[in-house]
């Protein structure tokens, strides 16, 4: 006849063991399901331990005034055939290394070592959607061989456990795409793809602020002999704002914030099939007027893809002027090594309420965006930074 173990139950969230206060039955007694067999005391309360089923208490290991850990076998209840069937006791289960019930006479001692249960057995793919991202060693080897990343395979509907992509799924997918027209991606394209993929592994967010451009545009007309691009104004404003408070441009690595060494700001330039980002070093320390020539030269070199290595990389934030494409709002993705990306939308003449004159008047305004790594800063800090940039931009003579 089957035997059901009587276990010390989990009595509360932080309870690891309990002391037997009273044993209500003795070996040989008939037991009714859901009735109390013992009373136990934890550091919180006295409570009853009920029988998991009906039957005969064929073995009792526990003693009054002794402590037993949660999960300890306190005894055994012998059950009838139909009760065993009702409980779904499985005859077919593999032989376990449990001590035979008859020999187990000594009760578990206080503080007996707990069984360590592995959390993962077999394939670490749980039977729900989270399995979809599991990549087997073979998948990884094949992907390395072909230069693929998980992002390349996002289009595969996996047929494996939990929806994971199996090696067969991958090979079928690769076969299938051969039927499309295929053109080689330029090295610029592959480089940008890699940067964007790495960047997007972070939680990114964007805030938007309308910024008045009239003062900046007026100042720009007075620039001679060469005009400064609007992006240079914003770059200077951003540089000064960050020199006042550099924390938003920090990077989060583990539980540490890595602060910038110097205020080097980059600006995006469209080059063939991609984007290059020349950098103005120590942009907080050089007035705008002295930056104009350098800026224009860098833009030229970038467009020709002849940017010197020393003028690329190492910037702590980037400015991008997508407004030149007529775009009013965008959510660009910051460079993978940076936390901040300031975006400038296309300027538009819009009606603005003048509270003093109590009338609408035209102003030139653009939506500025700040896209940021949300692990480093939140919307408030982002908003404050954009507002400061806006303030500085509206005082262009000081830039």
Which residues make up the interface to other proteins (CB under 8 A)?
A: 92, 94-95, 97, 122-123, 125, 136-141, 160-161, 166-168
Smaller CB separation from other proteins, 141 or 350? 141
Three state DSSP letters for the chain: CCEEEEECCCCCCCCCEEEEEEECCCCCCEECCCCEEEEEECCCCEEEEECCCCEEEEEECCCCCCEEECCCEEEEEECCHHHHHHHCCCCCCCCCCCCCCCCCCCCCCCCCCCCCCCCCCCCCCCCCHHHHHCCCHHHHHHHHHHCCCHHHHCCCCCCCHHHCCCHHHHHHHHHHHCCCCCCCCCHHHHHHHHHHHHHCCCCEEEEEEEEECHHHHHHHHCCCCCCCCHHHHHHHHHHHHHHHCCHHHCEEECCEEECCCCCCEEECEEECCEEECEEECCCCCCCHHHCHHHHHHHHHHHHCCCCCHHHECCCCEEEEEHHHHCCCCCCCCCCCCCCEEEEECCCEEEEEEECCCCEEEEEEEEEEEEEEECCCCCHHHHHHHHHHHHHHHCCHHHC
* Residue 228 Cβ vs other proteins, minimum distance, rounded to whole Å: 55
Residue 247 is encoded by which pair of tokens? 């924390």
In this structure, what are the phi and psi dihedrals at residue 231, rounded to the nearest 5 degrees? -60, -30
We find the least distance from the C-beta atom of residue 232 to other proteins, in angstroms, to be: 51
Nearer to other proteins, 137 or 326 (CB): 137
Minimal distance in Å, beta carbon 194 to other proteins?
22
Q: How far is the CB of 167 from other proteins (least distance, A)?
A: 4
Cβ distance to other proteins smaller for residue 9 or 162? 162
Q: Nearer Cβ to other proteins, position 94 or 361?
A: 94
Distance in Å, CB of 135 to other proteins, minimum: 10
Query: Which residue's CB is nearer to other proteins, number 167 or number 286?
Result: 167
Q: Which is nearer to other proteins, 167 or 208 (CB)?
A: 167
Shortest distance (Å) from residue 161 CB to other proteins: 5
CB closer to other proteins out of 167 and 301: 167
> C-beta of 138: minimal distance to other proteins in Å?
4
């Amino acid at each position: 006849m089957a035997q059901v173990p009587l276990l010390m139950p989990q009595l509360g969230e932080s309870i690891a063991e309990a002391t037997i206060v009273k044993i209500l039955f003795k070996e040989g007694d008939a037991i009714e399901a859901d009735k109390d067999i013992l009373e136990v005391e934890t550091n919180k309360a006295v409570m009853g331990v009920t029988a998991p089923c009906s039957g005969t208490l064929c073995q009792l290991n526990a003693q009054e005034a002794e402590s037993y850990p949660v999960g300890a076998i306190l005894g055994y209840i012998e059950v009838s055939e139909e009760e065993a069937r009702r409980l779904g006791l499985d005859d077919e289960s593999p032989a376990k290394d449990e001590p035979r019930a008859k020999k187990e006479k000594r009760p578990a001692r206080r503080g007996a070592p707990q069984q360590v249960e592995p959390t993962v057995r077999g394939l670490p793919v749980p039977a729900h959607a989270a399995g979809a991202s599991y990549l087997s060693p073979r998948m990884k080897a094949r992907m390395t061989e072909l230069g693929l990343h998980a992002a390349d395979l996002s289009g595969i509907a996996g047929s494996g456990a939990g929806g994971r992509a199996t090696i067969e799924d991958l090979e079928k997918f690769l076969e299938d795409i051969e039927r499309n027209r295929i053109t080689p991606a330029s090295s610029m394209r592959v480089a940008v793809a890699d940067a964007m993929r790495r960047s997007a592994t972070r939680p990114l967010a964007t805030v938007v602020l309308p910024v008045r451009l009239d003062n900046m545009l007026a100042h720009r007309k007075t620039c001679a002999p060469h005009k400064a691009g609007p992006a240079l104004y914003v770059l200077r404003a951003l540089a000064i704002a960050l020199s006042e408070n550099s924390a938003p441009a920090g990077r989060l690595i583990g539980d540490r914030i890595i602060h910038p060494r110097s205020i080097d700001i980059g600006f995006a330039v469209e080059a063939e099939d991609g984007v290059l980002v020349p950098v103005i070093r120590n942009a907080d320390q050089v007035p705008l007027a002295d930056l104009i020539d350098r800026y224009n030269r860098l833009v030229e070199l970038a467009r020709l893809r002849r940017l010197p290595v020393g003028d690329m990389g190492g910037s702590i934030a980037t400015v991008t002027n997508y407004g030149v494409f007529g775009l009013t709002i965008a959510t660009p993705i910051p460079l993978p090594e940076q936390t901040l990306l300031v975006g400038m939308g296309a300027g538009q003449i819009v009606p603005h309420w003048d509270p003093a004159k109590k009338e609408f008047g035209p102003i030139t305004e653009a939506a500025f965006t700040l896209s940021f790594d949300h692990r480093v800063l939140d919307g408030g800090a982002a908003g404050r930074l954009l507002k400061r940039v806006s303030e500085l931009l509206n005082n262009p003579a000081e830039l």
